[in-house]
Structure 1
């Protein structure tokens, strides 16, 4: 009988096979075991009973790991609500910076350092363009979300940036960008390439990338990077900026893979749904072995504690509450208020009164007893 198509089922069936062919980091082992335990007796939970028909059910705790496809849905929705509340009535620009695949080997051994350099370099680039007196002559704002995957789960490191179309000057004036234009992508590409390679070289010389020891190979890679065209994408959000916020929000607290993309799993082979951007965004299905799917998924396990969503400029957490009202005043925009959806979710949390009973459909499932965690089989 075929296994239920889920990442949890793939890990259960294929983790030993992957571990036999490659060395997994402690962090990768931890993520796999979190997903295996998610919503099972291993984490404990509650025994529920209906107050009308006395039907019983079990509700197990979630692992809340940001790599788990079954968790963090509410956190993502709340994040989107907060970002919508901070939107300014200006044209936003969706800008994407992609690292060349030449760096994939270095990312394998030093992911935290290279991801951090990507954030640092992208902000330095956009900030320099924004502060240029010949351009916007002020401070930009930016929200950036790190993605490390492509549709087929191969390593494809890129940074999605949502940038308000304008900058605030030192005197508090708002300098708007052209409605369909922020900065030239070719100039952005050149600047981010030079800045990133320079920072890489400094990191190597400072000993922050100790697993890179072959000086000739390091020099070859750095020279290769300088000879490549770095991909930068920029598009104005003339309408419905909220859709970009929602797109970023889907992966603000989760990563790489959702169970809905797994079409089937027979215990060995997995059918993976993906969008082929080179073929008119057509939806296709590819077949992978379970071990190969899991190997690709583990490429995107982030270092523990790494912040993959960051805010910069006047959107930085330390000054956002102060700067946004000032900017709204400068552009004569109304003050943002908490959305009805957010207020409703907070009210729902305060008045939660059990789950609807799926048996009688009239009663409520209420907690009857707490269930202690049980040791996972084989653990």
Structure 2
């Protein structure tokens, strides 16, 4: 099959127009197919040296788009850099059991929200306990819903400064290499999530789960299993923290760099097999199956998949971070060079002569998109 190895090519080749899809999935497919094409409209640019004319089409800015998310990640991390503290950071990952995947399919907003709430409530309680930190924790949590083979694998990546802010505004550093005991975290978050689901069912919020006895039986089973929690004492330098955070914040289910081949029937892509020591392997999927798996990870419209908690919560971040920096004996060292300043579009280096500047000549109207 001719064409670039891209998600646009995959969708153009294997998205079956006669298959009914939820409106949100159809909307995302339309955005990704239209991104940087005449469907989006744009500018006609002309070089001020060689006079070459070329179109520049607008981006879709959909958070599921691999092209748009790269730039969004850069902008976001530049903004977050000012919130990074000069302390070690911990990376903790909480995985939702796969037994709950059918409920995620039926009630994604609810399950994702309850998972955020349960994870934060668990970590907050551990941090407040005098035997651990005895203070307020800060956390940035990022929701991922996929595994390496694009199957549903819901988990939260939590990046946590290594310490807590006490009621007196002092900083109490963490002493353990793993922040809190992993097994204890696992059991506590299990209890909180099962309790939250039971309460949600009592409030009729799991109304699409209709099989008699399913809720009681599944919640009982979940309480008998070990939930997966991973903790790592990972980072000690501010620049490293920002770069590390960028790896997780604006990811999509699969990057185009992992695509190996697209033919008339299937898609081949690279993945890491963590059950085999993280070896890189190839997987071939029928094109329609690849699209199905990719669309499993379309988030509900408006859903916040990056959230800040504790002293990193947006409503109080500036004040509390200032207190913590004073407690750490650190002056406000925010570098003005890292502040992003938006400037008007002023053209590009001409790709033809590589000397002139391609400037806007006139706008190109968008084509009304009828896909999806």
Q: What TM-score results when the alignment is normalised by the length of structure 1?
A: 0.93
- CA 1:291 to 1:241, structure 2 compared with 1: closer, same or farther past 3 Å? farther
Query: 8 Å contact 2:89–2:241 — kept in the other structure?
Result: no
- Where does structure 1 differ by over 6 angstroms across 4 or more consecutive aligned residues? none
Query: 8 Å contact 1:3–1:266 — kept in the other structure?
Result: no
| 1:151 to 2:144 alignment | no
Deviation of residue 241 (structure 1)?
Answer: 5.9
Partner of 2:296: 299
The separation in 2 between residues aligned to 1:247 and 1:337, in whole angstroms, is 19
| 1:225 to 2:222 alignment | yes
Deviation of residue 283 (structure 1)?
Answer: 2.3
Partner of 1:13: 13
Query: 8 Å contact 1:91–1:179 — kept in the other structure?
Result: no
Alignment of 1:173-188 (within 5 A): 173-178=170-175, 180-188=177-185
1:68-95 alpha-carbon deviations (Å, 9 max, x no partner): 1111322211211232221111111100
Query: 8 Å contact 1:48–1:56 — kept in the other structure?
Result: yes
Decide which of 245, 261, 266 is 1:264's aligned counterpart. Answer: 261
Query: 8 Å contact 1:180–1:238 — kept in the other structure?
Result: no
Query: Helix, strand or coil for the counterpart of 1:350?
Result: coil
- CA 1:256 to 1:243, structure 2 compared with 1: closer, same or farther past 3 Å? farther
- CA 1:60 to 1:206, structure 2 compared with 1: closer, same or farther past 3 Å? same
Deviation of residue 250 (structure 1)?
Answer: 3.9
Deviation of residue 3 (structure 1)?
Answer: 3.0
Query: Helix, strand or coil for the counterpart of 1:115?
Result: helix
Alignment of 1:21-32 (within 5 A): 23-32=20-29
Query: 8 Å contact 2:138–2:311 — kept in the other structure?
Result: yes
Deviation of residue 214 (structure 1)?
Answer: 2.4
Deviation of residue 376 (structure 1)?
Answer: 4.6
The separation in 2 between residues aligned to 1:333 and 1:215, in whole angstroms, is 59
| 1:362 to 2:355 alignment | yes
Deviation of residue 122 (structure 1)?
Answer: 0.4
1:117-171 alpha-carbon deviations (Å, 9 max, x no partner): 0000000000000001221111100100000001111100000001111111111
Q: Unpaired segments of 5 or more residues in structure 2?
A: none
Query: Helix, strand or coil for the counterpart of 1:158?
Result: strand
The separation in 2 between residues aligned to 1:338 and 1:372, in whole angstroms, is 40
User: Which 10-residue stretch deviates more, 117-126 or 7-16?
Assistant: 7-16
Partner of 2:343: 350
Q: Unpaired segments of 5 or more residues in structure 1?
A: none
Q: What TM-score results when the alignment is normalised by the length of structure 2?
A: 0.95
User: Which 10-residue stretch deviates more, 33-42 or 262-271?
Assistant: 262-271
Query: 8 Å contact 1:204–1:210 — kept in the other structure?
Result: yes
1:96-119 alpha-carbon deviations (Å, 9 max, x no partner): 000111000000110110000000
Deviation of residue 56 (structure 1)?
Answer: 1.3
Partner of 2:325: 328
Size of the aligned set, in residue pairs, is 372
- CA 1:242 to 1:225, structure 2 compared with 1: closer, same or farther past 3 Å? farther
Partner of 2:3: 3
1:321-360 alpha-carbon deviations (Å, 9 max, x no partner): 10001011112123230363x34x53xx427531011111
User: Which 10-residue stretch deviates more, 208-217 or 279-288?
Assistant: 279-288
Deviation of residue 251 (structure 1)?
Answer: 4.3
Query: Helix, strand or coil for the counterpart of 1:128?
Result: helix
